[in-house]
């Protein structure tokens, strides 16, 4: 029988620096076994400034919660959504590329999300996952707050036909817009959106067109609001080649890109004396709406705004359209 060997435990080197344990998350939230988790699923996810906004609100309201980013690849989406239940996560935001794909993994979706065909918010309600879409709400709240714009009986052009365009078009149609034209590089996608929305919103006239400059010039002559929902403009050297000079001086030019805060499209519109509307307000209001759905509490939007601006100023978040979240 072999004798038992004594164990020699190596003492840590005096030169090795010890790392103190952190009792609190970086946003000052004390993490306990009772802390509720909120978060965002996306891929990629490093662009998001939502954690900065939501954690600022959590801190201001002294809530026992924390908001975390989760990188979820498309093939992992089903497992991630199921994990919301398994982990008892209270709520999740959904960003690119999952807004449409996530619907099939949910127990139910709101009427508005059904109309739009995409979700950007999931509420875990007693083990049932309910999908919502706050994009349209956020856009209209921002537009109304900053420009005092009433869509009723107005003529509107939306550049782009993606998830953000769907949410915004639905919100404006519900508010009584007379005519909404969807202009998209791939006209087939614009036609698909228009076909679906004609049935959902029969009181609004929908039309699909391409991005031909001459067609846009004719279309622009009698519109009240032009909205860019595409990602063009996220880089300072990128600008949409749109004939803004054809717009009436009373028209509003809106761009949902929030980084940079003032895109080349908005700068050009300003030089022409047009009223402009940027994307940061939409980001804030749709985030506040999500927070209310999860907690029942009205989020202080000014706290969210300050946190977002601070993060953008520090270079946090890659250049990203507000439609891509949050």
Domains 36-133+282-324 and 136-279 share a fold: yes
Spatial distance between the Cα atoms of 32 and 65, rounded to a whole number of angstroms: 9
Find out whether 191 and 208 touch, Cβ atoms under 8 Å: yes
pLDDT in tens, 269-295: 999 999 999 999 999 999 999 999 999
Predicted local distance difference test score (pLDDT) of residue 315: 79
CATH architecture of 36-133+282-324: 3-Layer(aba) Sandwich (3.40)
Choose between 259 and 24: higher pLDDT: 259
> Using 50, 70 and 90 to split pLDDT, how confident is the model at 239?
low
CA atoms within 13 A on the CB side of 34: 3
Give the position of tokens 């089903």: 78
Predicted local distance difference test score (pLDDT) of residue 260: 87
The catalytic position among 99, 198, 205, 292 is 99
Please give the average per-residue pLDDT across 292-306, as a whole number.
98
Spatial distance between the Cα atoms of 126 and 84, rounded to a whole number of angstroms: 11
| Domain at 136-279, CATH homologous superfamily | NAD(P)-binding Rossmann-like Domain (3.40.50.720)
Count of C-beta atoms within a 10 Å radius of residue 150: 13
Predicted local distance difference test score (pLDDT) of residue 32: 92
99 is catalytic: yes
Contacts of 233 (CB under 8 A, 6+ apart): 239, 240, 255, 257, 260, 263, 264, 265
Predicted local distance difference test score (pLDDT) of residue 12: 43
Alpha helices by DSSP H, 201-279: 213-220, 264-271
Is the pLDDT confidence value at 22 over 60?
no
Predicted local distance difference test score (pLDDT) of residue 316: 62
Q: Rounded mean pLDDT of the chain? A: 88
Is the pLDDT confidence value at 182 over 90?
yes
Predicted local distance difference test score (pLDDT) of residue 259: 86
pLDDT in tens, 215-232: 999 999 999 999 999 876
Please give the average per-residue pLDDT across 7-12, as a whole number.
44
Q: What is the Cα gyration radius of the chain?
A: 23
Please give the average per-residue pLDDT across 69-89, as a whole number.
98
Is the pLDDT confidence value at 92 over 80?
yes
Which residue ranges make up each domain of the chain? 36-133+282-324, 136-279
> Using 50, 70 and 90 to split pLDDT, how confident is the model at 317?
low
Tokens representing 263? 């895109």
Please give the average per-residue pLDDT across 133-154, as a whole number.
97
Predicted local distance difference test score (pLDDT) of residue 96: 84
Predicted local distance difference test score (pLDDT) of residue 163: 83
The length of the chain in residues reads 326
């Amino acid at each position: 029988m072999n004798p038992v060997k004594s164990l020699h435990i190596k003492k840590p080197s005096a030169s090795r620096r010890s790392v103190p344990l952190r009792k609190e998350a970086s946003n000052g939230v004390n993490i306990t076994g009772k802390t509720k988790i909120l978060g965002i699923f996306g891929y990629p996810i490093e662009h998001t400034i939502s954690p900065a906004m939501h954690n600022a609100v959590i801190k201001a309201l002294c809530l026992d919660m924390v908001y975390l980013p989760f990188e979820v690849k498309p093939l992992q989406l089903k497992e991630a959504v199921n994990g919301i239940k398994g982990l008892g996560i209270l709520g999740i935001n959904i960003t690119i590329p999952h807004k449409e794909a996530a619907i099939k993994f949910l127990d139910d979706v709101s009427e508005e999300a059904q109309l739009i065909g995409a979700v950007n918010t999931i509420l875990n309600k007693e083990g049932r996952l309910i999908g919502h879409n706050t994009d349209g709400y956020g856009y209209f709240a921002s537009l109304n707050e900053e420009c005092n714009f009433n869509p009723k009986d107005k003529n509107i052009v939306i550049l782009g036909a993606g998830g953000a365009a769907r949410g915004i078009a639905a919100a404006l149609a519900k508010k009584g817009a007379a005519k909404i034209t969807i202009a998209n590089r791939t006209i087939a996608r614009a036609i698909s959106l228009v076909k679906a929305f004609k049935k959902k919103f029969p009181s609004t006239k929908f039309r699909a067109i391409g991005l031909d400059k001459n067609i846009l010039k004719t279309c622009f002559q009698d519109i009240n609001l032009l909205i860019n929902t595409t990602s063009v403009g996220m880089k300072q050297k990128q600008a949409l080649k749109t004939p803004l000079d054809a717009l009436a001086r009373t028209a509003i030019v809106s761009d949902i890109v929030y980084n940079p805060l003032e895109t080349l499209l908005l700068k050009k519109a300003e030089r022409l004396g047009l009223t402009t509307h940027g994307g940061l307000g939409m980001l804030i209001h749709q985030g506040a709406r999500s927070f209310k759905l999860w907690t029942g509490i009205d989020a202080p939007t000014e706290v969210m705004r300050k946190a977002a601006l601070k993060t953008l100023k520090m270079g946090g978040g890659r250049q990203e359209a507000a439609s891509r979240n949050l």
